[in-house]
């Protein structure tokens, strides 16, 4: 049978674009559909604009640090509308780059919502297109809890378009997105309260990392209400929002409420999956180790399979799929030792097993090495900042099975450490490596 495309991709986010371009490199005829802007969550509502706001949030501390190094005090005022404008201008610039990349790869772009008619056919508006293989790469979206007044709350999608900076902001939930935005807003001058149902933020991360970040956030003036749930939200005559709580306090008042950390779910509504053999479980698409769904010619990558929701993972899944199906290079994605970072203040990054995971896997053989210190940078600046570094070792083999860091430049440092952890380096290899002095990173090769 003749098809319009060898591969058609639904969703032009990081995973979808990576797959489309790699398949096209192998000579496949590729089409891609996107209902929103090119680049998906990461470029438009996630990694990129968020990191730019993280950078902006650090300047208030840098101005104060400079005085300890002999600079005269700086009096500076923050311009929220300008930051929002320039951040979104950068996003627009990146959208154009993605369009040019797809054009250069001869990938045909369709604007609109794609919906399955059958396993080889989709409709986009009044157009009907066929493909030998179809990839679902629609990503995920924030979810809101079903509570009275939830319509007054925003998510991480809307925070990049707020016209005015909230003077009093509340973040509901202690996931990485929520605590990142809490730190951003605090650094930009907002009063910030974080409300979590448990006793600690960042469930799933190493316990030392969770503790260090939470204490650091509180040290920077962020109020964290633990073991607290929200019952309802009321809009007051003043325009402010009142959160009615069960737990530490009865009510909290805010200008804006972000639900960035209340979870995300695969964005599967309206895809027409019922017209295919694709199965879902717990709201996510079921796919095998080759990212193939129960329909033999339909595949899925990225957040819509809810496996490991990171942009570089989606990109790698997509490229591996294209290599396997169009490049004659059968490969599988490895989810072991994938590094990740949390761009809070203080920043954190990690690769490999947490201490709890290591003890469950290796038992009493686990050895833990920690170092906690004040970085040299702050000796003159005067801020009471700490850096935590932690190595987790399987004592039977001496292999480093986990590395964790909380502190400035954690992501940059752990990226390099991740390579050697992925290669199976031993603690003896770390010990035999000469450190770069003076640097924070040298602690990873001097811990005893």
Contact between 269 and 279 under an 8 Å Cβ cutoff? The reply is no
Confidence band of 199 (pLDDT split at 50, 70, 90): very high
CA 341 to chain centroid, in Å, comes to: 8
Domain CATH code at residue 355:
3.30.390.30
- Give all strands (DSSP E) within 310-362, no chain letters: 340-342, 348-352
Contact between 181 and 159 under an 8 Å Cβ cutoff? The reply is yes
Same structural domain for residues 181 and 81? no
CA–CA dist 306, 372 (Å, integer): 34
pLDDT tens readout for residues 10-23: 999 999 999 999 99
pLDDT at 257: 85
pLDDT tens readout for residues 331-373: 999 999 999 999 999 999 999 999 999 999 999 999 999 999 9
pLDDT at 424: 98
pLDDT at 408: 97
pLDDT at 179: 97
Count of domains forming the chain: 3
pLDDT at 58: 98
Residue with tokens 């010619």: 297
pLDDT tens readout for residues 301-339: 999 999 999 999 999 999 999 999 999 999 999 999 999
Same structural domain for residues 257 and 271? no
- Residue 61 counted as domain residue: yes
- Residue 252 counted as domain residue: yes
Confidence band of 248 (pLDDT split at 50, 70, 90): confident
Tokens of 91: 């996003």
CA–CA dist 349, 405 (Å, integer): 5
Q: How many helices (H) and strands (E) does the chain have?
A: 11, 23
Spatial CB neighbours of 364, under 8 Å, sequence gap ≥ 6: none
CA–CA dist 424, 401 (Å, integer): 8
Read off φ and ψ for residue 33, nearest 5 degrees. Answer: -120, 140
Domain CATH code at residue 311:
3.50.50.60
Burial of 438 (0-12, 13-18, 19+ CB in 10 A): exposed
CA–CA dist 400, 398 (Å, integer): 7
pLDDT at 262: 75
Give me the active site residues, please. 437
Q: Given a cut of 70, is residue 261 above it in pLDDT?
A: no
Domain end call among 262, 283, 301: 262
Same structural domain for residues 180 and 49? no
pLDDT at 250: 83
pLDDT tens readout for residues 264-307: 999 999 999 999 999 999 999 999 999 999 999 999 999 999 99
Same structural domain for residues 223 and 255? yes
Facing residues of 123 across strands? 115, 128
pLDDT tens readout for residues 153-190: 999 899 999 999 999 999 999 999 999 999 999 999 99
Same structural domain for residues 163 and 107? no
pLDDT at 438: 97
Same structural domain for residues 74 and 161? no
Same structural domain for residues 288 and 305? yes
User: What percentage of residues in the chain have a pLDDT greater than 90?
Assistant: 96
- Residue 386 counted as domain residue: yes
- Residue 331 counted as domain residue: no
Tokens of 403: 């590395």
CA–CA dist 338, 342 (Å, integer): 14
Same structural domain for residues 85 and 219? no
Q: What is the DSSP letter of 4?
A: S
pLDDT at 249: 78
Task: Report helix angle 355-362 to 207-219, nearest 10.
Answer: 170
CA–CA dist 32, 49 (Å, integer): 24
pLDDT average, residue stretch 229-256: 91
Mean pLDDT of all residues belonging to the chain: 96
Contact between 222 and 213 under an 8 Å Cβ cutoff? The reply is no
- Residue 12 counted as domain residue: yes
CA–CA dist 94, 276 (Å, integer): 34
pLDDT tens readout for residues 61-101: 999 999 999 999 999 999 999 999 999 999 999 999 999 99
Q: How many residues does the chain have?
A: 448
Burial of 446 (0-12, 13-18, 19+ CB in 10 A): middle
Read off φ and ψ for residue 192, nearest 5 degrees. Answer: -125, 135
- Residue 103 counted as domain residue: yes
Longest dimension (CA), the chain: 75
Please report the sign of the dihedral spanned by the C-alpha atoms of residue 211, residue 217, residue 219, residue 225: negative
Residue with tokens 């005893």: 448
Same structural domain for residues 39 and 136? yes
- Residue 333 counted as domain residue: no
pLDDT at 258: 81
Same structural domain for residues 321 and 382? no
Q: Which structural domain, as residue segments, surrounds residue 348? A: 340-445
pLDDT at 260: 60
pLDDT tens readout for residues 19-60: 999 999 999 999 999 999 999 999 999 999 999 999 999 999
Same structural domain for residues 36 and 179? no
- Residue 155 counted as domain residue: yes
Same structural domain for residues 158 and 113? no
């Amino acid at each position: 049978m003749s098809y319009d495309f060898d591969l058609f991709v639904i969703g032009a986010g990081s995973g979808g674009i990576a797959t489309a371009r790699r398949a096209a490199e192998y000579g496949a005829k590729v089409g891609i559909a996107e209902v929103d802007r090119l680049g998906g969550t990461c470029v438009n509502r996630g990694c990129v604009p968020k990191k730019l706001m993280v950078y902006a949030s650090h300047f208030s501390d840098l101005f104060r640090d400079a005085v300890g190094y002999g600079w005269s005090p700086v009096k500076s005022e923050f311009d929220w509308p300008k930051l929002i404008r320039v951040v979104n201008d950068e996003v627009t610039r990146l959208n154009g780059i993605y369009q040019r990349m797809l054009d250069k790869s001869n990938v045909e772009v369709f604007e609109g919502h794609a919906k399955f008619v059958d396993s080889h056919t989709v409709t986009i508006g009044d157009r009907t297109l066929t493909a030998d293989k179809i990839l679902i790469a629609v990503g995920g979206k924030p979810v809101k809890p079903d509570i009275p007044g939830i319509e007054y709350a925003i998510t991480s999608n809307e925070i990049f378009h707020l016209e005015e900076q909230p003077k009093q902001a509340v973040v509901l939930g202690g996931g990485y997105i929520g605590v990142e935005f809490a730190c951003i807003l605090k650094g930009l001058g907002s009063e910030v309260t974080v409300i979590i149902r448990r006793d600690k933020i960042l469930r799933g991360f190493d316990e030392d990392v969770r503790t260090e970040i939470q204490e650091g956030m509180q040290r920077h003036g962020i109020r964290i209400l633990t073991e607290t749930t929200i019952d309802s939200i009321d809009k007051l005559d003043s325009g402010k929002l009142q959160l009615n709580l069960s737990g530490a306090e009865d009510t909290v008042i805010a200008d804006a409420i972000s639900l960035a950390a209340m979870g995300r779910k695969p964005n599967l509504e309206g895809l027409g999956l019922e017209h295919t053999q694709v199965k879902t479980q717990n709201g996510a698409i079921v796919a095998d180790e080759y990212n193939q769904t129960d329909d033999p010619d339909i595949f899925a990558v990225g957040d819509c399979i809810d496996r490991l929701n990171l942009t570089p993972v989606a990109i790698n899944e997509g490229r591996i799929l294209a290599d396997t199906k169009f490049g004659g290079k059968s490969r599988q994605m490895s989810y072991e030792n994938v590094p990740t970072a949390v761009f809070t203040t203080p920043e954190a990054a990690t690769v490999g097993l947490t201490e709890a995971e290591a003890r469950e896997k290796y038992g009493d053989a686990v050895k833990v090495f920690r170092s906690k210190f004040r970085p040299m940078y702050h000796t003159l600046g005067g801020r009471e900042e700490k850096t935590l570094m932690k190595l987790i070792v399987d004592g039977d083999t001496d292999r480093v099975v986990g590395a964790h860091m909380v502190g400035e430049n954690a992501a940059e440092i752990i990226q390099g450490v991740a390579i050697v952890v992925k290669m199976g380096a031993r603690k003896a290899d770390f010990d035999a490596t000469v450190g770069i002095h003076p640097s924070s990173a040298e602690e990873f090769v001097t811990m005893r």
